[in-house]
Amino acid sequence: MKTLAQSRYSQNILWVGVALAVLAAAAYLWIAFGLLSVGDLQVAQDGGVIIYVAAGCYLLGGLLILPRRRWLWIIGLLVNALVVLFFFNLYKDRPAVMFSPGGLMTKIPQVLLELTLIYLIVADWMYSRRQR
């Protein structure tokens, strides 16, 4: 019998989540390299250490989707939600930052990643309840 995590549909959703996390990581690197602007924010000359930390965290987080552990998905969901909420709270009055190429290229994949993680968590939970 196949588990939810082994079904073809869930495999695809899993890889979509990984791809979204890698895209978010790449977007942070593009900001650091000056390929994406972030409105009126000044990126540090070296790109700012926080940008590299964010890129590394999204890359690692994307890879941690693959072990198919619900508790890892929940932690990723919570951390990603905090990142998105902090961004919107910090820049809600600065549309030049919020709607900049860098702002959109980081937040769109992050919001879609959030939805993907919610789906994986709920589907896995529902599947495990049916198996009892």
Q: How far is CA 77 from CA 9, 28, 84, in A?
A: 20, 19, 11
pLDDT tens for 14-43 read 999 999 999 999 999 999 898 999 988 776
Domain count, the chain: 1
In one-letter notation, the amino acid at residue 112 is L
Task: Check if the beta carbon of residue 107 is closer than 8 Å to that of residue 84.
Answer: yes
Query: What is the pTM (predicted TM-score) of this model?
Result: 0.89
* Measured distance CA(64)–CA(72) in Å, rounded: 7
What are 46-101's pLDDT values in tens digits? 557 899 999 999 999 999 999 999 999 999 999 999 999 999 999 999 999 999 99
By residue range, what is the domain housing residue 48? 4-130
> Which tokens go with 52?
């590299």
